[in-house]
Amino acid sequence: MLTEVTATRYVAPLHSGGSVPGIVEADDLGTYVVKFTGAAQGRKALVAEVVVGELARALGLRFPELVLVHFDPQLAAHEPHQEVRNLLDASQGVNLGMDYLPGARDFTPEVAAHFPVDPLEAGRIVWLDALTANVDRTVHSSNLMLWPTFGIAPPRLWLIDHGAALVFHHRWDTSAPEKAYDFRHHALGRYAPDVRAADAELAPKVTRELLAEVLAEVPDAWLEGEPGFSGAGAVRDAYVDYLAARVAASAAWLPTCFPSREELAAEEARRAARTRAGRPDWLKRVPDLHGKPAAEQDWSVHLG
């Protein structure tokens, strides 16, 4: 089971993401990025975070440690923003914390242009995203971090933020586990991801036993009350059944046709041109700041 800690200090909210996570210190002396149960995305986003994150770790991908954080809203009595206070007041009890990676940077397009990624590593990440139907790791929002371990070793890719994965569980559409997903704009598409080698390596590891172990990490309270199910155990079984069926059908959904860097650049240029074409004449003379590569940031300002 995930380690349980108790929050001792609410440091600050992170306003860059729709779920408004927060930096929290805990009684184990750790610092965590906490996603709250009271966020608009609901508890299913937290379920997806646990399932995909723990599955990534089991497959050898780098993902920050997750903990369950007992949170008392009184810790944030000093928070001046009423919307954030409302979120925190609705999050009394157990929430989800992700280990904070100090000094990590966003894997932005600007950074990606100068950072080599091994095709097999890229393939493993793409394969996991395809398996779990993660629609939120694109060239515009990679949800990848570069973190130099201990500040000495070269930076490596770390996965974060999987709340948008497992799209099937929002309507429990389990009828098509072989359904393909469009990964042409995946953040790692430019690195010629070797998804076939990744499939041969990872698919045999994703057994029903492993999936059951991962689902056991999800608190019952986040699964109870799901319409059409008799309890948390039945919901866990449904996740295991669907993901196991999807692994078995990997030949049908395995993404293999990624655009070249030149094709990606041309499409980005077309997008920028369409954006400018839709602006009024006076605004066309103003630089398109949205098309400018984002500056490298500390990871704490890019979680959502």
Distance CA 240, CA 64 (A): 23
Segment 71-108, tens digit of pLDDT: 999 999 999 999 999 999 999 999 999 999 988 899 98
Return the bridge partners of 138, or none: 186
Structure confidence at residue 17 (pLDDT): 62
In this model, does residue 289 exceed pLDDT 50? no
| All residues at 6 or more sequence positions from 133 whose CB lies less than 8 Å from its CB, including other chains | 165, 166, 167, 168, 179, 181
The values of phi and psi at residue 263, to 5°, are -65, -40
In this model, does residue 238 exceed pLDDT 90? yes
At residue 283, what is the residue type? L
Regarding predicted confidence, which is higher, 186 or 276? 186
Rg (alpha carbons) of the chain, rounded to whole number: 20
| Average pLDDT rounded to a whole number, residues 9-32 | 90
Q: What is the pTM of this model?
A: 0.83
Regarding predicted confidence, which is higher, 155 or 26? 26
On whether the CB atoms of residues 289 and 165 are closer than 8 A, the answer is: no
Segment 147-201, tens digit of pLDDT: 986 666 788 999 999 999 999 999 887 888 999 887 878 999 989 899 999 999 9
Evaluated on CA atoms 149, 122, 108, 293, the torsion sign reads positive
Tokens for 273, please give them.
């041109």
Return the percentage of the chain with pLDDT > 70, whole number: 88
Distance CA 54, CA 61 (A): 10
Structure confidence at residue 150 (pLDDT): 65
In this model, does residue 297 exceed pLDDT 60? no
